[in-house]
Amino acid sequence: MSAGLKKSSSNGYEKSLTTEEQQAKISEIRRLIGPLPEKLANYCSDAAIARYLRARNWNAKKATKMLKETLKWRAEYKPEEIRWEEVAHEAETGKIYRSNYIDKHGRTVLVMRPSFQNSKSTKGQIRYLVYCMENAILNLPPDQEQMVWLIDFNGFNMSHISVKVTRETAHVLQEHYPERLGVAILYNPPKFFEPFWAVVKPFLEPKTQNKVKFVYSDDLNTKKIMEDLFDVEKLESAFGGNDDSGFNINQYAERMKEDDKRIPTFWTSGNPQSAAPPEPMPKSPIDLNSINLDSDSDASDNGKVGGSPSHVSDSKGLSPNKSVLVAEGSDNGSSEVHER
């Protein structure tokens, strides 16, 4: 997977639409995409489409393009097929894991420790990150669609800085998991991290930038961020909490294996988190590349500031000329695409 960064040109302002206007935008995207097989429709619920619309400032044409590219990426990358056994070696040090506590809003928490990096493979690191993102979504309550990142900089030094991995992480998060991040806490980042952040920041959406919070254990003002977000009794001691249990790879492996068993049935029409009814199964294969993204499908946005453009080039996936086909009754990776 390779991605070239482009600076964000979004102004950071989001349109304010009524419920009726929002539903009209969602219907517009459904019209642009066309009928989908039942499994694929489960991954394109109204809630999912709304996230792509918010990411593109409610510009239906741009949101459709973004969603289509995610469907193509999922057909190639197959994130829903990643299992613990494939990524367990990346997890051994506890560099990323889903905590056993949630924040006060009920959001899943991913703990990240960049100084615990144990792999030089960018591909392997991103594969594990995607697995963790999918697992975090799997464990979200029905009324919540965002997660929290807790990034611990203890032991972090210059050797742990990787522009390539940071670039890939930003790409995956912004292009394929829009509006999934609620807040990212950077806990005790060293001074030398600040110039690196100054370089990376312009490549992030303004909305993503605003979700990043710097917290220092010796700063009472920033510590309040943690107190407002978490139950201190359940929060790990590394982040100023009272839980000293720490990370245990064997116990974590069992948790992940149990979660893996839930994946095949998670994205089904019976799942309450998938609110949109599936469209009838088509009689012929669907070519996602046949969606017309160049037509004036969002006339209401003409002359106005629309959604921000795609800020990172397409990831390693299908070539521009390669079609993604989803046939009736298909049981291949493309029919298993899942995006809530």
Structural domains of the chain ordered from first start: 19-79+274-336 (no CATH), 84-264 (3.40.525.10)
Cα radius of gyration rounded to whole Å, the chain = 20
Q: What is the pLDDT of residues 148-204, one digit of tens each?
A: 999 999 999 887 877 788 888 889 999 999 999 999 999 999 998 888 888 888 878
pLDDT tens for each residue of 27-83: 999 999 888 767 667 678 999 999 999 999 999 999 999 999 998 898 889 999 999
Helices 122-138 & 84-91, crossing angle to 10 degrees? 110
* Per-position b or e across 16-37, b if 16+ CB within 10 A of its CB: eeeeeebeebbebbbebbeebb
Task: Enter the tokens of residue 17.
Answer: 């639409």
- Which H helix or E strand runs over 76? helix 60-77
pTM of the complete model: 0.77
What percent of the chain stands above pLDDT 90? Answer: 55
DSSP letters for 12-26: S------HHHHHHHH
Predicted confidence (pLDDT) per residue in 304-333, tens digit: 333 333 333 333 333 333 333 333 333 333
Give the span between the Cα atoms of 291 and 39, in whole angstroms.
19
Classified as helix, coil or strand, 191 is coil
Query: Is residue 300 over pLDDT 70?
Result: no
